[in-house]
Amino acid sequence: MGIVKGGCLEKTIFDMKEGEEGFTSSKALELHFGCNGFLYLEMPISKNYDPKKKKILYVKRIGDKKDDFLVDLEKSEKQKWSRSFILEEDYKEFENDPGVALLKYEGSIEEKYKNKEHSLEIQLKEAEKNENYELAAKLRDEIRLKKEK
């Protein structure tokens, strides 16, 4: 006994072959300040842009490695994208996760946030502004430890 693969299984980003492209939900992408974005590979992929089914995020497989994907935010009409803060130890948990592709930023975002210490300072100011004191305390500790090295 076993599972017979057929047409009823929904294709995921993970299943894409090199050169293949399609659209998925915006929930498949998580953007961060100061580090790579995440593309969740278990999310379903469709050949067509379909806002009614929320298939709006363009994804193209550009190689055979886990992280070989191109995501084009400009092809996602009327979608506003935001970035979130992630602590370094939380980020490290995802580096070897087989279900998550790590995507490098291209263009102005990468240039603006490639200095990690500067990024931590930005995250700290934002956490304080949002009155997230627990995150602010962790960020202060991380900044202090980096300066001591």
In a domain, 4, yes or no: no
- 71 shares its domain with 126: no
Please write the tens of the pLDDT for every residue from 62-85: 888 999 999 988 877 677 778 888
> In terms of residue numbers, what domain contains 45?
13-107
Looking at the fold, whether 124 and 69 belong to one and the same domain comes out as: no
Residue 129 belongs to some domain of the structure: yes
Q: CA angle, corner 17, sides to 16 and 20, nearest 5?
A: 80
Q: Is residue 146 domain-resident?
A: yes
Long-range contacts of 117-124 (CB under 8 A, 24+ apart): 117/143, 117/146, 119/33, 119/34, 119/35, 120/34, 120/146, 122/33, 122/34, 123/33, 123/34, 123/85
Residue 2 domain-assigned? Answer: no
Higher pLDDT, 148 or 66: 66
pTM over the 0.75 mark: no
pLDDT digits (tens, 9 = 90+) for 54-66: 888 999 998 889 9
83 backbone dihedrals φ, ψ, rounded to 5°: -115, 155
